[in-house]
Amino acid sequence: MTTQLFEDLDRLTASPNPAAALHHLTATLLESGEYGLAFESRLMGKRHELGLPLIQSDQITRDDYQQAVMAIARDTGQLFLAAGNLARAWPYFRAIGETQPIEDAIAALPNEGDVEQVIGIAFQEGVHPLKGLELILANQGMCRAITAFGMTAVQKDREKCIALLARHLYNEIVPRMSETIRTHEGTAHEGNTQATTNLLELMQGRDWLFGEWDYYVDTSHLLSVVPYGIELKDPEALACIHELCEYGKHLAPQFQSAGVPPFENQFEAYGHYIQALRGIDTEAHLDYFRQQVANADPDVAGDAPGRTLTRLLIALGRPEEALSAVLDHVFEDAPWGQPVPTALQLCYQTGNFSKMQDLARERGDALSYIAAAILNRT
């Protein structure tokens, strides 16, 4: 700050209207783009106007002042956004609980450039996880994207993030496989397939694509993304995961990493789960998991197969069968495993209040017993 500015401030603070000094300082700071200091100057001006202590403290709790703080913070955030400084804008919008302007600004950003701070806001802080994941993929690669997604409890747009990862893998496989086919089959391939981008069509009748050491995307990436597919509902995203599972099943044994029951044969098992979710030959795919439950050794697999079957039945809208699965194959008190509804919750969901009452009595659960008894009367 210049000597001239302080001379101006001396003159104005000595005038009949000392608040003019704050107005002058604010105007100077805004003109020079020092929006953070202008924020503090405007707040001091508001405290002076309201007869509050000039120095900020936690004891200042008046509603009119707090409303002014929010308005000035909003203005300051907008100024930083207009200047293209999203990282400086974010703390002001975060402080007042308004994330939409930042989300909109993030959505409009190109995927290239200096995005490290934006990724932190978009992904780690959960403002726009989908765009944040796009930025990670574009600038840091698939490995970093998978790691970030696995380490961050993404909830907002979670399914879209999973679909993005799956589609990215798909789009890595297809051109590499197409190039291999062109090299092997020459112009005949181009004429027959018209440059198809469908993975199943590319693989059809071409078992030679999968020799002992042939693969078209990092298998660890594939095995990291495919399991997330069981969370999906979108038909297009489910179809993408299905094709990735079909691709995975063609890979040589050294690329078939064993999972935990009932997903020991990962690509096969997840393929069954996904096809059931898609409503394609549902009963046959359910039978796969019923058989996994029947064959499982509880001392080895615990109740994981039963929990998986339960979750799938619930996803398919079959709560009565899910209730039977929980009662027969799930250790409800176990502090591990995928979360599933309790038998009492499923009784309530299915309207089976007599069963709920019987179970509550067996378990010494007086509250649930009373609830079931009352519900049974209505």
pLDDT tens digits, one per residue of 234-244: 999 999 999 99
Least confident interval from 162-166, 226-230, 374-378:
374-378
- Tell me which residue has tokens 């500015």: 5
User: Is 347 in contact with 355 (CB distance < 8 Å)?
Assistant: yes
Q: CB under 8 Å to 163, separation ≥6 — which residues?
A: 232, 234, 236, 237, 240
pLDDT tens digits, one per residue of 12-54: 676 667 778 778 888 889 999 999 999 999 999 999 888 888 8
Q: Which residue has the higher pLDDT, 9 or 286?
A: 286
* Confidence band of 227 (pLDDT split at 50, 70, 90): very high
pLDDT tens digits, one per residue of 260-274: 999 999 999 999 999
pLDDT tens digits, one per residue of 281-327: 999 999 999 999 999 998 889 999 999 999 999 999 999 999 999 99
pLDDT beyond 90 at 250: yes
Q: Can you spell out the DSSP letters for 175-228?
A: HHHHHHHHHHHTHHHHHHHSS---HHHHHTT-GGG--TT--SS-HHHHHHHGGG
Say what percent of the chain tops pLDDT 90. 78
pLDDT beyond 90 at 5: no
Over residues 200-206, mean pLDDT: 96
pLDDT beyond 70 at 204: yes
Structural tokens at position 275: 């096809």
Structural tokens at position 243: 């094709």
Domain ranges of the chain: 3-98, 110-156, 342-378
pTM more than 0.95: no
pLDDT for 193 equals 47
H/E element holding 3? helix 3-13
pLDDT beyond 80 at 346: yes
Over residues 64-92, mean pLDDT: 96
Rounded-to-integer distance, Cα 265 and Cα 318, Å: 25
